[in-house]
């Protein structure tokens, strides 16, 4: 089964940018739909962006026009480019792989947007 490892989180000032990466191992990456979720303290885990095996994408309204999800099947990696970051984007960001009824989560990476 697939294992996921996120990287790229950190502290950034409002208006700044970060790129998150999620690298998969243990299975054929290209057969999974991929997504990024985030969870702020005391809140539920919410979908941020998703990309299908065919490359179709969808975004939460709160990040449309600022975030871009992409995938590189040759590198077994999905990315989340985050621009124009706001303090309300502060959260732990999780990568998820799904195929049918199967789903796997990464361990998460912290993103903090603060001056």
Q: Give the C-alpha separation, 63 to 93, whole Å.
A: 13
What is the pLDDT, as a whole number, of residue 35? 98
What is the pLDDT, as a whole number, of residue 65? 97
**Which pLDDT band, with edges at 50, 70 and 90, does 26 fall under?**
confident
Place of tokens 């001056």: 115
Q: 34 - beta bridge partners?
A: 51, 97
- Are 107 and 6 in contact, with CB atoms under 8 Å apart? yes
**What is the 3 state secondary structure string of 44-94?**
CCEEEEEECCCCCEEECHHHCCCEEEEEEHHHCEEEEEECCCCHHHCEEEE
Residues above pLDDT 90, as percent of the chain: 95
Query: What pLDDT digit, counting tens, does each position of 60-113 carry?
Result: 999 999 999 999 999 999 999 999 999 999 999 999 999 999 999 999 999 999
């Amino acid at each position: 089964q697939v294992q996921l490892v996120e990287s790229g989180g950190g502290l950034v000032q409002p208006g700044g940018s970060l790129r998150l990466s999620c690298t998969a191992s243990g299975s054929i990456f290209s057969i999974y739909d991929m997504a990024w979720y985030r969870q702020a303290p005391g809140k539920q885990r919410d979908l941020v962006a998703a990309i299908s095996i065919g490359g179709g994408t969808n975004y939460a309204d709160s990040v449309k026009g600022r975030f871009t999800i992409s995938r590189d099947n040759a590198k077994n990696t999905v990315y989340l480019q985050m621009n124009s970051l706001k303090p309300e984007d502060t959260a732990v960001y999780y990568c998820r792989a799904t195929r049918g009824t199967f789903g796997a989560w990464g361990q998460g990476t912290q993103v903090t947007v603060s001056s």
